[in-house]
Amino acid sequence: MSEVQVGDSLLFLTDEQLRQGIEAMFFAYRGFTVAPDQILEGTGYGRAHHRALHFIARAPGMNVNRLLMILGVTKQSLNRVLRTLIADGLVESRVGRADKRERHLYLTEEGAALEQKLSDAQRKWMRDAYRKAGPEAVAGFRQVLEALMDGEIRQSHAALRENTP
């Protein structure tokens, strides 16, 4: 497996190296989604549901609009997903106290259980990769990923880190 030669500061920017990086990203992302997809298979849910559960778990009480921005989809698309999750009792939607237009989202016990299961599987995958690659590689990995996010997306990401209720 052709690794980028650290010593050579030019080689890592050749078109060929870039192309390999692009392809690696494509394949890795595919591998990345295998485990959760398998768990969801047959449940009637898909990746969209997984993503919603993930971010609601990450920031409970988040309103729909914020989740919308993070996920980068239209509200109609998200709404369909939320509707089924709410109907199935995985997510609870509470009317905002300060602003009654807002709906704040929480996982129910059942929702939290599924999210945990999905999260565990994906983390295991990630952990194995991190173990193989080692701490220094992981640091580099994170650096490049951060750089790969464009301004808007980075904002979503940053917004998530702040623990705003």
Partner DNA sequence: GAGAATAAGTCAGGCTTGTTGACATTCCAA
Partner DNA sequence: TTGGAATGTCAACAAGCCTGACTTATTCTC
- Beta carbon of residue 159, minimum distance to DNA (angstroms, whole number): 13
Report the residue number, 45 or 112, with the smaller CB distance to DNA.
Answer: 45
Report the residue number, 96 or 140, with the smaller CB distance to DNA.
Answer: 96
Contact 64, 82 (CB under 8 A): yes
Helical (H) or strand (E) element with 93: strand 91-95
Other Cβ atoms less than 10 A from the Cβ of 88: the count is: 16
Tell me the two tokens of residue 79.
């709404």
Q: Which residues bind its own copies (CB under 8 A)?
A: 1-6, 8-9, 12-13, 15, 18-32, 34, 51, 58, 72, 119, 122-123, 125-150, 153-154, 156-157, 160-161
Max CA-CA distance within the chain?
59
Report the residue number, 79 or 164, with the smaller CB distance to DNA.
Answer: 79
3-state helix, strand, coil in the chain (%, to 5): 70, 5, 25
When binding is defined by CB under 7 A, the residue of 72, 143, 149, 158 that contacts DNA is 72
- Beta carbon of residue 97, minimum distance to its own copies (angstroms, whole number): 28
Amino acid at 112: A
Helical (H) or strand (E) element with 107: strand 103-107
When binding is defined by CB under 7 A, the residue of 39, 73, 138, 159 that contacts DNA is 73
Residues that bind DNA (CB under 7 A): 44-49, 51, 63-65, 68, 72-77, 79-83, 93, 96, 98-103
